[in-house]
Amino acid sequence: MSERLITHLRHVDLAVPDYDRQLDFYTTMWGLTPETTDDGIAFLAAAGSPEQYSVRLRRAEEKRLDLISFGAANAADVDALAERLGRDGVPLVGEPGPLQTPGGGYGFRCFDIDGRTVEVSSDVAVRVHRKVEEGESIPVKLSHVVVNGPNPEATVAFYERHLGFALSDTLTSPHMGSVMWFLRTNRYHHSLAIARGPHVSLHHASFELRGLDEYMRGTGRLLRAGVEKVWGPGRHMAGNNTFSYFLDPHGNTVEYTTELEELDEDTWHPHLYDFSDPMVTDQWGTANPMSEFVAKRSFNDRDRGVFVAPPV
């Protein structure tokens, strides 16, 4: 594993054909705040997060994952990481420089081994945020992002070697072998996970709520509104976090979660969890069983944006 220069997850950016419908879902239903909106692009913030935005929506002809953004401590670390990637032959979308997105900052973009665009930045202005109050069933922050790929072992190796991520746990199956790898870049169990899938795509984006009561209130609000539930509510073993997965209007899976495990990185040893054990997938036993329906929803559509940098 390379020296860790990435500190945390910032935001996930989505391109969507039905922009107005998606914007309404993520604000009215999901609970994000439209901090900055222009014609055809919206920056959506989580109330408790110092990040300028947690989700960016962009109007486009084709659905795609535009990019995943991570933070670094300072400009020197951004430069050092860009230099390391260039030396290792990782294609940069552009050299480090000032960012033109809300909050400014300094950063660069590159392609990972599957062609996803990854952004790393520092010195982004801190957003004025607040403490989410008891009973508020809205996201505090973006918790983690999970992506699919047909050769996940290579993807995991890329993030470990080039970006300094560490393996927390792995999900396995007697019939399928390893199927998901949880990667961290700080004390939280994972900010990124890699899943085995039929093609490169977004598996899901997960949002942290204040606590169990707020998580259940949010889950119930979406169920009452008729938003399609994929899986949950329950509690995973890997990460020990709660889960309720829903589909946004374009078929992207989004999750409400809370209580993601914080690790002692000096003593932690990765586990191999057999996800055919019902206790591994859901310790509570309250979620609908893992099934082909759940898996196929998480495969999502093939990402049309690989090795093509987003225009913004």
Is cis: bond before 233, omega within 30 of 0? yes
Q: What is the pLDDT of residue 142?
A: 98
Please determine, for residue 255, whether its predicted confidence score (pLDDT) is greater than 70. yes
| The pLDDT value given to residue 237 | 97
Tell me if 241 sits within 8 A of 258, measured CB to CB. Answer: yes
Q: What's the burial of 234, exposed, middle or buried (CB within 10 Å: 0-12/13-18/19+)? A: buried
Reported as half-sphere exposure (CB side, CA atoms, 13 A), residue 251 has a value of 14
Identify the band that residue 49 occupies on the pLDDT scale cut at 50, 70 and 90.
Answer: very high
Residue 31 DSSP one-character state? -
Cα–Cα distance, 162 to 120 (Å, whole number): 12
Distance CA 141, CA 84 (A): 30
| Mean pLDDT in residue range 205-220 | 98
Question: What is the model's pLDDT at position 191?
Answer: 98
1 has a pLDDT exceeding 70: no
Find the length of the chain: 312
pTM of the model: 0.97
* Per-residue pLDDT tens digits for 58-86: 999 999 999 999 999 999 999 999 999 99
- Over residues 273-305, the pLDDT tens digits come to 999 999 999 999 999 988 878 888 899 999 999
Compute the distance between CA of residue 57 and CA of residue 22 in angstroms, rounded to an integer.
8
Share the mean pLDDT of the chain.
Answer: 96
Q: Which residue, 51, 53, 18, 21, is CA-closest to 37?
A: 53
Q: Is 199 helix (H, G, I), strand (E, B) or coil?
A: coil
Average pLDDT on 182-193 reads 98
Residue 2 has pLDDT above 90, yes or no: no
Can you list the domains of the chain with their CATH numbers?
6-122 (3.10.180.10), 141-299 (3.10.180.10)
Shortest CA distance to 291 belongs to which of 272, 273, 275? 275
Which three-class secondary structure state does DSSP give residue 173? strand
The amino acid occupying position 215 is Y
Distance between CA 232 and CA 290 in Å, rounded? 10
Which pLDDT score is estimated for 297?
87
Coil vs helix vs strand at 276: coil
Task: Determine the pLDDT at residue 75.
Answer: 98
pLDDT at 3 over 90: no
Whole-number percent of the chain with pLDDT over 90: 95
pLDDT (0 to 100) of residue 291? 81
